[in-house]
Amino acid sequence: MNFSLRFLLFPIILMNSLQAQEIRLAASDLLADFIEPPLQEYSADREIEIDIDGIGSLPALDQLKANEIDLAVIAVPEGEEIPRQEFSVYPFGYDVAVVVVNENNPINEISLSQLGGIFGNEEEFNYNTWGDLGLSGWGSRNIKPYSGTAEDSIALELFKFSVFKRGSMRSGVAMVNASEVQSLLNTDAASIGILSRMPTSQNLKVLMVSPDETSPAFGPSSENVHFGDYPIRLSFYIVYKERDQERLKPVIGELLGDEVAAELENNHLVPLPDTVRRKLLVDLNLDR
């Protein structure tokens, strides 16, 4: 390229660089690594620079309040609230713990208090045999509880938070490597396990869970998790200041898009149901 052509192109290059918009995003460290690749790929061919920081949810909210970031994706445990008078808040996805038994076990559903009686110490109930739960013909079969959650998952802590009301994990629960627990459950019909993801073995059965003995039980489908019917969940939300919505629309649209949803699912998180995501995109004038 000769000197005169470079001279002519320089103002155009400079103008494009000045027009590139920076979006500062802080995401919960539980999922920041999963949303960064699709967001960076999205921004690569656009005049948007997305700066993603994976930090705790409370620091992210503090930074948003202080105008140090533009957008946050944070985890909010059940029972806690985001100050909606200050922010626009939309659901983003979920983490869950699933409860699994051998397919030959006749139980299909269980309540939180029953789970507490199996896995917990000093809970309301204390269950040691399947007969204690009313399983006909299984009166003398001892319950063998396992925790097989992955090391990089918070599913075990989520289970404790959702299930235990008084104590902690009982000493009789075997802590097993996530890669081994399915094999153990496969070979023992009297076992029950906490997993951080849906089982891959067809010889295992995921239990439906109810919040109490009088309520219906639901399995961990994306619809049941989103609408709060499945009770062992941690919710993630997109949070920003209303004044910034127009500027943030492209990034919010990508966060609610198919690529990010697939990335969450590939990493054993639960994205919003497709119909819910598409409705949010329409409501925010972001449908693509």
Residues 160-212: tens digit of each pLDDT: 999 999 878 999 999 998 889 999 999 999 999 999 999 999 999 999 999 99
Is the pLDDT at 89 greater than 50? The verdict is yes
Is the pLDDT at 227 greater than 60? The verdict is yes
pLDDT at 17 (0 to 100): 44
Is the pLDDT at 13 greater than 80? The verdict is no
Residue 253 pLDDT class (50, 70, 90 cuts): very high
- Mean pLDDT is lowest, of 36-50, 90-104, 109-123, for 36-50
pLDDT at 214 (0 to 100): 93
Percent of the chain with pLDDT over 70: 92
* CA gap 150, 133 in Å, rounded: 28
Residue 70 pLDDT class (50, 70, 90 cuts): very high
Give the mean pLDDT of 97-109: 96
C-alpha distances in angstroms, 129 versus 116, 234, 287? 14, 30, 53
Residue 82 pLDDT class (50, 70, 90 cuts): confident
pLDDT at 14 (0 to 100): 43
> Which domains does the chain show, CATH number per domain?
3-95+233-283 (3.40.190.10), 98-226 (3.40.190.10)
* CA gap 118, 130 in Å, rounded: 10
Residue 233 pLDDT class (50, 70, 90 cuts): very high
* CA gap 62, 282 in Å, rounded: 29
Is the pLDDT at 16 greater than 50? The verdict is no
Token digits of residue 170: 């009982």
Mean pLDDT of the chain: 89
Is the pLDDT at 9 greater than 70? The verdict is no
* CA gap 128, 107 in Å, rounded: 15
pLDDT at 20 (0 to 100): 61
Torsion sign (Cα): 30, 34, 38, 41: positive
Residue 12 pLDDT class (50, 70, 90 cuts): very low
Give the mean pLDDT of 49-58: 92
pLDDT at 19 (0 to 100): 54
Is the pLDDT at 140 greater than 90? The verdict is no
- Mean pLDDT is lowest, of 77-91, 188-202, 243-257, for 77-91
pLDDT at 7 (0 to 100): 45
* CA gap 288, 282 in Å, rounded: 9
Token digits of residue 249: 């629309």
Residue 234 phi/psi, 5° resolution? -125, 130
